[in-house]
Amino acid sequence: MNHDEHDVPAPKLGTATLVLLALLLLTATTVALAFLALAPALHVAAAMTIAAVKALLVAAFFMHLASEAAASRVVALVSVILLAILMLLVVVDITHLGGG
């Protein structure tokens, strides 16, 4: 396939700036979370949720997933569902098998 047939424009400057600010805010939240006295399972769940949101922002705006075909979005949705299952299993493992 020729790359010229499927060129997708880069995100607009305002959109890219908002996404950058959201990513920076989420990163600061992750760092601040490390200083809170929470249960290990809650730390892991919160950090992984923040990481998943950051990955979703990057995929949607900088990887142009928001403007892709429906099949690509379905593949991404299945990936997010599998990630959620993995996160749940990690939290259950930490909670019930010796972390918290």
Q: How does the average pLDDT of the chain come out, rounded?
A: 83
Task: Give every CB contact of residue 49 below 8 A, 6+ residues apart in sequence.
Answer: 87
Question: What was the pLDDT predicted at 94?
Answer: 80
Whether 2 has a pLDDT exceeding 70, the answer reads: no
Question: What was the pLDDT predicted at 33?
Answer: 92
Please, which contacts does 85-91 make with residues 24 or more away whose CB atoms are closer than 8 Å?
87/45, 87/48, 87/49, 87/52, 90/44, 90/48, 91/41, 91/44, 91/45
- pLDDT per residue over 25-65, tens digit each? 999 999 999 999 888 878 888 998 899 899 888 888 888 77
Question: What was the pLDDT predicted at 50?
Answer: 94
Mean pLDDT (whole number) for 83-96: 84
Q: Are 76 and 65 in contact (CB under 8 A)?
A: yes
